[in-house]
Amino acid sequence: MAGSSQIEWTEMTWNPVTGCTKVSQGCKHCYAERFAGRLQAMGNARYRNGFRVTLHEDLVELPLRWKQPKMIFVNSMSDLFHEEVPLDFIRRVFDTMNRCPRHIFQVLTKRSRRLSEMAPGLTWSANIWVGVSIEDKNALHRLPDLRQVDARVRFLSCEPLLGPLESLPLEGIDWVIVGGESGPGARPMRAEWVEDILRQCRSAGVPFFFKQWGGPHKKQAGRSLRGQIYNEMPHRIGQRTACERHTEMQFAGL
C-alpha cells in the first residue's frame, strides 16, 4: 500500500484509497485496475474488493512515520477526488500532508471539477503539488479547474498521451509530464505530439518530464527523446523545501 515506486517522477506511493472508475479515454487500459486484479487474485487483503473504491483508515497517517524527506505520489491506485471518497476523509488526508512539511505530496486527479469545488475548503501547504490528467484535447476542460486551486505547484500529466495538444494554455502551470500508454493493447503515441509539447514548455518556461514511450514492452522503448532524457522538475527559488532542494541538485543542468 506504500513503498518505493518505479514511477520515474516520484519516489514513493501512498494509497489511503484504492479502487476507481473510468471517466475518460485515458482510463481505458488502466494500469492500476490490472494491478489490483492481480493483487486480489494473490489474496492481498487490501484488494479484497478488487478495484472498487475502498478507504484504508489505518493508512491515513502513514507518512508521519517516514522521517527522511520523500517525493510521494498520493493514491497511485485510485483518485483522491473520486465521488465515493467523503469530504471528511479527504480533509484527513490533507491534514496528514499539512503535518509533514518534510515531504512533497503529488496529488493527481481526473476529477477536476470536484477538485476545484473542494479546494477552497482545504489547506494547501507548500509541500502539496496538484495535477490533472490531460490525455487528449477532450480533457482540456480540466485545466481551468486546476488553475483555480491555490497550490504552490500545479502540474499536468499528459499520460497516456492519445492525441496532439497543439495549444496548451500553460499560464499558471509549473510542470508537464508526458508519457505513452504501456501494457496490453497500448495505443501508440506519435513523436510529433511529444515534441510539440516540449516546444510549448520551452516557450512558456515550464519544466518538462518525459516519462516513457510506452507500448507493450515499455522498457525496450525507453525514455529517450531526441537522444536526451528529460527529467525536469519544478522548484521555487527562495521558497524551497528540503526535498525540492534535493530535486534541484539532482537535476541541475537540465
- Read off the pLDDT of residues 156-179 as tens digits, 9 standing for 90 and up: 999 999 999 999 999 999 999 999
Cα distances from 128 to residues 38, 50, 103, 145, 209, in angstroms, run 31, 29, 9, 17, 19
- Indicate if the pLDDT at residue 224 is higher than 80: yes
- What is the pLDDT confidence band of residue 238, given thresholds at 50, 70 and 90? very low
- What is the pLDDT confidence band of residue 220, given thresholds at 50, 70 and 90? confident
Place of cell 480533457: 139
- What is the pLDDT confidence band of residue 1, given thresholds at 50, 70 and 90? low
171 grid coordinates? 499560464
Which has more confidence, 246 or 52?
52
DSSP string covering 185-250? TPPP--HHHHHHHHHHHHHHT--EEEEE--BTTHHHH-S-BTTB--B-----TTS--HHHHHHHHH
- What is the pLDDT confidence band of residue 54, given thresholds at 50, 70 and 90? very high
Q: What is the pLDDT of residue 239?
A: 34
- Indicate if the pLDDT at residue 196 is higher than 60: yes
Task: Render pLDDT for 121-148 as a digit per residue (tens, 0 to 9).
Answer: 999 999 999 999 999 999 999 999 999 9
Average pLDDT over the chain reads: 92
- What is the pLDDT confidence band of residue 251, given thresholds at 50, 70 and 90? very low
Q: What is the pLDDT of residue 254?
A: 35
Task: Render pLDDT for 20-47 as a digit per residue (tens, 0 to 9).
Answer: 999 999 999 999 999 999 999 999 999 9
Q: How far is CA 91 from the centre of its chain?
A: 19
Place of cell 472508475: 21
Structural domains of the chain ordered from first start: 9-250 (3.80.30)
Q: What is the pLDDT of residue 35?
A: 95
Within 8 A by CB and 6+ apart from 66, the residues are 12, 100, 103
Single-letter code of the amino acid located at 48: R
